[in-house]
Structure 1
Amino acid sequence: MVADAQFVVRIPESIYAEMVAHIAASYPNEGCGALGSVDEQVVKNYPTANAAERPDDFSIISEADIVRIYNDIDEYDGDMIYYHSHPITEAYPSARDIEWAKRSGYLYIIFSHRFHPEPPYARVFKIDAAGTVTEGKIEQIA
């Protein structure tokens, strides 16, 4: 069950367009990346390769990329938001997504290609340590 939207993530239109292009280029595999945010406003995009053993079924950012991203985000005292795609299913956390998110505490932006070849669409979620999923809202800003 998804709780009512209780938060908003603001993403500049140019960064959102970069994310969509990166995710679309990954299809039919899952694409992934991270965002740096300050006060739930995205300030930087970190598109990455999918380091999962089976990129058609899961997504993982490599340890080297995570370290690089964390170090950069630390420079501006920001927070990391994880994003990835579901090539076939809804933009909603899978059971595996929930298990990973429970440990990480990141916000999750999930893109769906359900309507491919239409562009993927995205939703954002907070997943707490108990596995409760709360959906937020993505607001594109100029």
Structure 2
Amino acid sequence: MIRIPAYIVNGIIAQAINELPNEACGLLVGSGSDVLKQYPLTNIDHSPEHFSFDPAEQFQVLRSARADELEIIANYHSHPETPSRPSEEDIRLAYDPNILYLIVSLAAEVPVLKAFNIQNGVSTEVAIEVT
């Protein structure tokens, strides 16, 4: 399970809507299963079908997390027109088995946010508790 404050969930959804038609992306930092900070990042692919983090921004988040004695516990991205589940590309590019992968889908009228653990090419949905 991952615990995320409602204002961060709202921030992820707002970023996803604001960056349409492209995918939005970012990192979530915290401790254990508790998300404490959201870091929206630039999708340098500027694509509605895939994303890549800006490496300089990603490194800055890592430095900030370490300075705060926190860790990156999840990354997130949006699916503007497809369901909230990992695509084949998402699974193939999920290199870190120690973090969760969150996907917000804007395909329906109400955005859907789900979390996944992805290891060895297998994705398993993880519960999200909104606090």
- Both proteins in one fold, TM over 0.5: yes
The share of aligned pairs that are identical, in percent, is 32
Tell me if 1:56 matches 2:79.
Answer: no
Distance 2:129 2:11 in 1: 15
The answer to whether the Cα contact below 8 Å between 1:24 and 1:119 also exists between their aligned partners in 2 is no
Partner letter of residue 104 of structure 1? Answer: D
The answer to whether the Cα contact below 8 Å between 1:20 and 1:119 also exists between their aligned partners in 2 is no
Aligned-residue Cα RMSD (Å) equals 1.2
Partner letter of residue 52 of structure 2? Answer: I
Match of residue 30, structure 1, among 23, 38, 41: 23
Tell me if 1:114 matches 2:101.
Answer: no
Deviations 1:83-103 (A, max 9, x none): 0011111100011100111x2
The answer to whether the Cα contact below 8 Å between 2:2 and 2:126 also exists between their aligned partners in 1 is yes
Distance 2:73 2:61 in 1: 8
Q: Give me the TM-score of the superposition, normalised by structure 1.
A: 0.85
Structure 1's unaligned 5+ residue stretches are: 1-7
The answer to whether the Cα contact below 8 Å between 1:32 and 1:83 also exists between their aligned partners in 2 is yes
1:43 alignment partner, SS class: strand
Which consecutive aligned stretches of 4+ in structure 1 deviate over 2 angstroms post-superposition? none
Work out the number of aligned pairs and report it.
Answer: 129
Structure 2's unaligned 5+ residue stretches are: none
Q: 1:98 aligns to what?
A: 91
Higher RCO (CA < 8 A, seq sep 6+): 1
